[in-house]
Amino acid sequence: MNELTLKTENLDKIYKLGGRQVRALSDVTLDIQKGDFLSIMGPSGSGKSTLLNILGCLDTPTHGTVFLDGVNVTKVPEKNLYKIRKNKIGFVFQTFNLMPWLNAIENVELPMEGTKLSKDERQKRAHELLEMVGLSKRIEHRPHKLSAGEQQRVAIARALANNPAIVLADEPTGNLDAKTKYEIVRLLSKLNAEQGTTIIMVTHDSQVASRAGRMLSLNDGKLLKKEKKGSHVMNLICSHCGKEIRADDTFCPGCGKRI
Amino acid sequence: MKKLGVFTRALRNVSRRKIRALLVIIALSLSVAILTSIPTGIMANQKAAEQLSANYDSYLENMQTQITTASTLLEVSLSPGFTAAGFGGRGRPEGGFGGGGFMGFMSSESFFNETAVSNITTIDGVAAVIPVLEKSEGTNETRSTQFGDFVFLRPEYTIVGVPLDNSILSNYPVLPSDIIEGRTLGEGDNDAVLLSTNNTEYFGVGVNDQVNILGKDFTVVGVYSTTVTQEMNHLYMSLPEAQTITETEGNISRIDVYAENETAVDSVYANITAMYPEFYVNTAQSRLESLTTMAENQGSLLDNAEAGLVETQSVAYMEIGIAVVATSLIVLFTMLYTVRERTQEIGVLKAIGFSNTNIMSQFMLEGMILSIMAGLIGVVIGTVGAPIITQLLLTGFAANTGPQANTGSQMAFRGRQIGIPGLTVQSTIATPTVELLLIVFAGAILLGVLGSLYPSWRASKTSPMEALRRE
C-alpha cells in the first residue's frame, strides 16, 4: 500500500484582493498514498479549503505542481479538468449539496451521466452504493425527506459513484449533531478500511480529525512540520454537559438530556 | 423506476418553478400568437388588395370593350352620364358607376315623357330608338361616410322596362344574353319577367314560378346571369307593364339611340341636343372620356389604398419586430435569473465532473423546452385568434365585404374607407397557412435558443469555486 496517489510539490496560492496580495498557501508539499485517510486541520482562513480546491482540480495553484494518479494536473488545460474531477475525484461538502429535485438514487446516478455505463448499469451501481452507506431503503426519497446524516450518506455515495482515486471531504461533519457526526466519520473510516478508499478530510473539529490515520495541520497557508498519527478512535461527548457518551445512547447518562 | 437523463432533468428543472414557467409560457405564447396572426392578416389583406386591383383592371378592360362595340350608341337621359347613364353592360347604361359606393349617393332617377321617342326617330341617320324605363325599388338607408351621413335608397331590385319588339330585340343588345335557365323575353310576352340570379334569391322563386312585383303577378320565364355589378339586381319586363306597376305611365328614364353608322353619330348627337337641350347625350366618345376620367380617379384611390396598405404593413412588421425582441428578452431574462439562482447547483455539477458543454446544453435545453411549449400554445392561440388579434393590433386593417358587396366593395385600410364601385372582393378570412405555422414554431424555438444562449454560456463559465462559495 505504498502506491502514491497524490503528491504536491511546493504549492503556492496567491490571491489578489483589492490590489493587495494574499498568500493563501505557501510551499505545501504533500505525499498521499493509496488507502490513506488524512485529515487536515486548521483555523478558518488557514488555507484548508484552498488546498482542498486545488487538490480537487477546482482551482489552480500559483506555483507548484499536483500529481494525481501519476498525472500532472497543473498541466491539464482548464477545459479538460472536468474529466479528472469526474473520474478521479469524489467530493463531499459540508452542506451536502444534493440536488433537491432529484431523489437519493438519482443524486447518486448524476456523476455517472455521460460515462460509458448504460442507464441500467448506472442505476444498479447507485443502488449498490446506497446499500453500502446503509440507505437501501430510502433510495426514492428526495433530500428534504431525509435527515441531515442521511443526506450526507447520499452525498458520500455520490462521491464514490465513479470509483474515484480520492475522496475529498470539506467539513463533512460541520452541519451535523454529535451523534450523526460520529456515524458519518465511522462510515468514512469504514470505507477507508474496507474498500481502501483514499480520503482527505478538512475539518476544524479535532475529535473528527483524530479518527483519520494521518493528521495534518495548516496555519497561515503553511503545513506544520509535525504530522500526528490519528488514533482511529473518536470519543463521543454530550453537547450539553461534555460528559463522554456511547453511540447507542439516546439520553446523556450525565445530564439526562436528549442527545 | 424512471431512468434519469439530461432531458428528464431539464424537464424537471422547468417544472420546479411552475409559476415562473407558466408566466414565461404565457408571455411567450402571446408573442408567438402575434407572430402567427399578424402575417396572416397581412397575407389576407394583400390577397384582398391584389384581388381588388385585378378586378378593377378587368372591369376597366371590360368597359372599354363594351364602349367600343357599342360605338353607334347614344344614350339620352335627364342626368349626366357619369351618375345616371354611365356604363352598362353590352352598351346599355345601367345606373352608372355609383352603385352605392364612393360615388353614389344614389343618383336620382329622372323620368321624361316618351313623346321624345317619336321625335328622335325622325332625325336623319338614326337606325333605332329604344325607350327604356329603369326604376329601383328598395328601402331607405342611412350610411355614414367620411363626408357625413347620407340617406339613400338601398335598392333591392331594379325594374327595367324595354319594348318587347322583335325587330329591336333581334338587332340590339337590349336584354341580357347569358340565360342560364328558361328563356329570354320575346315579342308578345305578357305578365312575363326575366330575373337575375340575385332576383331569384331575393324573391325566392325560380323559372315558371309566379312572382308578385309591386302588386302584380308575373311569370318567371327565365333567369340570367351577369358579372356586371350594376345589373345584378335588374329584372326585365315589357315597357308598358313596367310603366303600369311603377305608376310612371307615359314616362321613360332613358332612350338608347342607335346611329346608322359611326360617321352618323356626330350629326345625330347635334340634332338631339338641338331638339332637347335639357337632355344629356352620351356618345361612345364621351363615355370613353368619362371612363378615362373615372379610371384616373379610381386609380389614384386604389393607389392611395395600396399606399395605406403598405404603411399599415410596415407598422405590422414593426409590431412583429417588437414581438420578436420581446420574446427573446423574456427568455433571456428568465434564463439569466434562473442561472443566477442556480449558481450553487452549477458549482456542484462542475465539482462532480460536468463539463462546460454539459452545463451549457442543459440550460439551452431548458430554454428550448419553454419555447417549444410556448410555441405550441402560441400557434394554437394564433390560429384560433388570428382574425381577432389582427383586428386588435391592426384596427381597420381587414378587408371586408358585407352583404352590400354587390353595391360596391369596401376595403378599410386603417379606418380609411374606400369603395370602388363595381368591384367586389370576396371576404377574406384570416387563416394562417401550415407553412406559416411551421415557420413561426421554428422561429419560437430559434428565439428560445437565442434567448438562452448568453445565460447558458454564463452558466457554463461560472467558476465552480465561486459558485460553491455562495452558500
Backbone angles phi, psi at B152, to 5 degrees: -145, 160
| pLDDT at A211 (0 to 100) | 85
pLDDT classification of B96: cutoffs 50, 70, 90: very low
A58 and B3 within 8 Å at the Cβ level: the answer is no
Share of chain B above pLDDT 90, in %: 18
B465 and A106 within 8 Å at the Cβ level: the answer is no
B348 and A109 within 8 Å at the Cβ level: the answer is no
Strands A37-41 and A199-202: parallel
> Which of B16, B350, B352 best probes binding to A when mutated, by most A CB atoms within 10 angstroms?
B352
Q: What mean pLDDT is predicted for residues B187-199?
A: 91
How would you class A70 by CB atoms within 10 Å of its CB: exposed for 0-12, middle for 13-18, buried for 19 or more?
A: exposed
- Which residue of chain A has the CA closest to B463? A58
Coil, strand or helix: which one is B305? helix
Please state, as a whole number, how many other Cβ atoms lie within 10 Å of the Cβ of residue B370.
26
Contact B470/A at CB under 8 A: no
Contact A239/B at CB under 8 A: no
Contact residues on chain A for B465, CB-CB shorter than 8 A: 53, 58-59
Give yes or no for residue A253 having a pLDDT over 80: no
- Which residue of chain B has the CA closest to A95? B471
From residue A173, alpha-carbon distances to B8, B124, B146 in Å are 32, 126, 84
Q: Nearest-CA distance from B352 to chain A in Å?
A: 6
pLDDT classification of B73: cutoffs 50, 70, 90: confident
Q: Nearest-CA distance from B445 to chain A in Å?
A: 25
Question: Per mean pLDDT, which range of A4-8, A35-39, A228-232, B277-281 is the poorest?
Answer: A228-232
**Residues 6+ away with beta carbon under 8 Å from B329:** B451
Tell me the CATH number of domain A4-245, given options 3.40.50.2300, 3.40.50.300, 3.40.50.720, 3.20.20.70: 3.40.50.300
Contact residues on chain B for A56, CB-CB shorter than 8 A: 351
> Across all residues in chain B, what is the average pLDDT?
78
Contact residues on chain A for B460, CB-CB shorter than 8 A: none
Q: Within its chain, how far is the Cα of B204 from the centroid? A: 27
| pLDDT at B34 (0 to 100) | 81
Contact residues on chain B for A102, CB-CB shorter than 8 A: 4, 9, 12
Q: Which residue has the cell 356618345?
A: B283
Question: Per mean pLDDT, which range of B97-101, B225-229, B458-462 is the poorest?
Answer: B97-101
Please state, as a whole number, how many other Cβ atoms lie within 10 Å of the Cβ of residue B389.
21
Contact B461/A at CB under 8 A: no
Give yes or no for residue A54 having a pLDDT over 70: yes
Backbone angles phi, psi at B3, to 5 degrees: -90, 140
| pLDDT at B470 (0 to 100) | 57
Q: How far apart are CA B153 and CA B167, in angstroms?
A: 35
Q: Nearest-CA distance from B348 to chain A in Å?
A: 7
Nearest one of B33, B36, B27 to B329, comparing CA atoms: B27
**Residues 6+ away with beta carbon under 8 Å from B51:** B425, B426
| pLDDT at B468 (0 to 100) | 80
Q: What mean pLDDT is predicted for residues B83-94?
A: 36
Contact B23/A at CB under 8 A: no
Q: Nearest-CA distance from B1 to chain A in Å?
A: 9
B4 and A59 within 8 Å at the Cβ level: the answer is no
Between A58, A86, A97, which is nearest B465 by CB?
A: A58
Give yes or no for residue B230 having a pLDDT over 50: yes
Q: What mean pLDDT is predicted for residues B426-447?
A: 76
| pLDDT at A64 (0 to 100) | 93
Grid cell at residue A146: 431525509
Helix segments in A45-193, DSSP class H: 48-55, 81-88, 104-109, 119-132, 148-159, 178-190
Question: Per mean pLDDT, which range of B111-120, B152-161, B206-215 is the poorest?
Answer: B152-161
Give yes or no for residue A121 having a pLDDT over 90: yes
pLDDT classification of B457: cutoffs 50, 70, 90: very high
| pLDDT at B171 (0 to 100) | 86
Q: What mean pLDDT is predicted for residues B136-142?
A: 80
Q: What mean pLDDT is predicted for residues A69-75?
A: 89
pLDDT classification of A15: cutoffs 50, 70, 90: confident
Q: How far apart are CA A212 and CA A40, in angstroms?
A: 9
- Give the range with max mean pLDDT: A205-209, B56-60, B249-253, B444-448: B249-253
Contact B358/A at CB under 8 A: yes
| pLDDT at B390 (0 to 100) | 63
pLDDT classification of B426: cutoffs 50, 70, 90: very low
Q: What mean pLDDT is predicted for residues B304-325?
A: 80
> Which of A83, A97, A108 best probes binding to B when mutated, by most B CB atoms within 10 angstroms?
A97
pLDDT classification of B195: cutoffs 50, 70, 90: very high
pLDDT classification of B224: cutoffs 50, 70, 90: very high
> Do residues B368 and B449 make contact, with C-beta atoms less than 8 angstroms apart?
yes
Q: What mean pLDDT is predicted for residues B4-33?
A: 84
Nearest one of B11, B35, B41 to B378, comparing CA atoms: B35
Coil, strand or helix: which one is A152? helix
Contact B348/A at CB under 8 A: yes
pLDDT classification of B161: cutoffs 50, 70, 90: very high
pTM of the prediction? Answer: 0.64
| pLDDT at B108 (0 to 100) | 54
| pLDDT at A168 (0 to 100) | 94
What DSSP assignment string belongs to B195-236?
Answer: EEHHHHHHHT--TT-EEEETTEEEEEEEEE----GGGTTEEE
